[in-house]
């Protein structure tokens, strides 16, 4: 009898290999108590979730809502609807896989957007930086016009760097002759175009006390100009041409990068000779140059109305006459490029064609000197262009003298 029951239990387990162990025990007990009464294969109904639910507590808590509950529910549904063998395997394999795979692409896409978002952020920062630079330049030059500035680029081709002829051809259209009519004569100097609409930087002593101003460009066109602002402490002035457009602005460089020995070119209108080009080197940096701030000096020493020499002090000595009692001192670049009366306000240019200074003072022999003393002695000074750029906003607002 015991052997018969054991065979019956083994046979029943073979027929239903997915039956839980306790079900077999209950069936054997029923068989022992009921004698030969048959075992009902439908009772108790096999709980489909039991085999899968057992390992759930062992899984990490954060994975339960994603994989396990879905797999259990799908397996039970499949087993209840059809074959317990095929449905259970089908529900436990395909469906959880498909459910688990749905969030993965979404997560992947979010992560994939990370580098693109970073690149976009970099692009925005770069644009912001670019926008900030353009804004800074606009603040220097006005809302409608932009002055051309450069610290690394070259106006002339790299193969022509330092070539005086190439530099002169490239920059001469940006240098003008400035003629001011004074109460006792005229004052002739030079100027540098900084905007296409006709803003011109020159020396204050060139236009100081002027009743009218005429500007002549390198192509021979003449314009009437008005003073926008003056800064006698830096010997700078800003004038604006009337009804001018399409002019070629000069490229303003970086005077902080200038070194002693650098090649330079000077362009101006010495003695009214428009577009005169000379060359030399930077002889020294940060020279203290003292000039007059008195408008009367310009009238008595102005161009063809006087001896054409603008008085200045340097190294404890006075040149070209008396500077008077009202003076100012600024740091200047010293050059041995030939400068003469009329070069004041003109351009001092580096080897790449960038403006690095506005010529402002030069030593010239007195008019009553012998012919052996005539001509340039290689002692010229220029206001650094960085000083000019820093002063443009003040000049546009009327200058420090307004």
Residues with a catalytic annotation lie at 205, 235, 344
**231 neighbors 400 (Cβ within 8 angstroms):** yes
The residue length of the chain stands at: 402
- Identify which of 217, 200, 209, 177 has the alpha carbon closest to the alpha carbon of residue 341: 177
Q: How are the residues of the chain apportioned to helix, strand and coil, as percentages rounded to the nearest 5?
A: 40, 25, 35
| Distance between CA atoms of residues 51 and 21, nearest Å | 12
| E-assigned strand segments in 172-270 | 175-182, 185-193, 199-202, 212-216, 222-231, 236-241, 251-252, 263-268
DSSP helix/strand/coil, 17: coil
Using an 8 Å Cβ cutoff, are 290 and 312 in contact? yes
Query: What's the DSSP call for residue 75?
Result: H
Site of tokens 């030939």: 338
């Amino acid at each position: 009898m015991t052997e018969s029951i054991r065979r019956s239990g083994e046979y029943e387990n073979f027929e239903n290999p997915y039956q839980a162990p306790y079900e077999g025990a209950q069936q054997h007990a029923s068989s022992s108590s009921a004698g030969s009464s048959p075992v009902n294969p439908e009772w108790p109904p096999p709980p489909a979730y039991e085999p899968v639910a057992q390992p759930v507590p062992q899984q990490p808590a954060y994975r339960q809502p994603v994989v396990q509950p879905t797999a259990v529910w799908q397996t039970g549904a499949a087993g209840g609807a059809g074959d317990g063998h095929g449905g259970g395997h089908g529900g436990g394999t395909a469906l959880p896989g498909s459910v688990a795979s749905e969030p993965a692409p979404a997560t992947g896409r979010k992560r994939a957007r990370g580098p693109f978002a970073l690149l976009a952020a970099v692009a925005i920062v770069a644009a912001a930086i670019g926008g900030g630079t353009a804004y800074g330049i606009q603040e220097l030059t006005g809302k409608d016009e932009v002055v051309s500035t450069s610290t690394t680029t070259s106006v002339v081709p790299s193969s022509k760097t330092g070539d005086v002829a190439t530099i002169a051809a490239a920059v001469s259209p940006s240098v003008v002759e400035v003629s001011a009519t004074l109460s006792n004569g005229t004052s002739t100097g030079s100027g540098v175009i900084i905007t296409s609409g006709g803003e011109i930087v020159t020396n204050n002593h060139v236009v100081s006390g002027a009743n009218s101003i005429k500007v002549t460009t390198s192509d021979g066109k003449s314009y009437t100009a008005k003073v926008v602002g003056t800064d006698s402490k830096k010997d700078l002035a800003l004038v604006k041409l009337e009804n001018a457009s399409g002019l070629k602005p000069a490229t303003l460089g970086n005077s902080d990068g200038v070194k002693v020995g650098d090649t330079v070119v000077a362009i101006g209108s010495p003695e009214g000779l428009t577009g005169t080009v000379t060359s030399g080197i930077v002889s020294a940096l940060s020279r203290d140059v003292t000039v007059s701030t008195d408008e009367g000096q310009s009238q008595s020493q102005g161009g063809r109305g006087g001896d054409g020499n603008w008085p200045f002090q340097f190294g404890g000595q006075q040149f070209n006459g008396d500077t008077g009692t009202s003076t100012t001192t600024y740091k200047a670049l010293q050059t041995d490029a030939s400068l003469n009366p009329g070069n004041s306000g003109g351009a001092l240019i580096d080897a790449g064609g960038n403006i690095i200074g506005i010529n402002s003072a030069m030593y010239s022999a007195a008019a009553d000197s012998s012919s052996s003393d005539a001509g340039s002695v290689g002692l010229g000074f220029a206001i650094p262009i960085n000083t000019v750029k820093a002063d443009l906003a003040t000049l546009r607002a009327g200058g420090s003298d307004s």
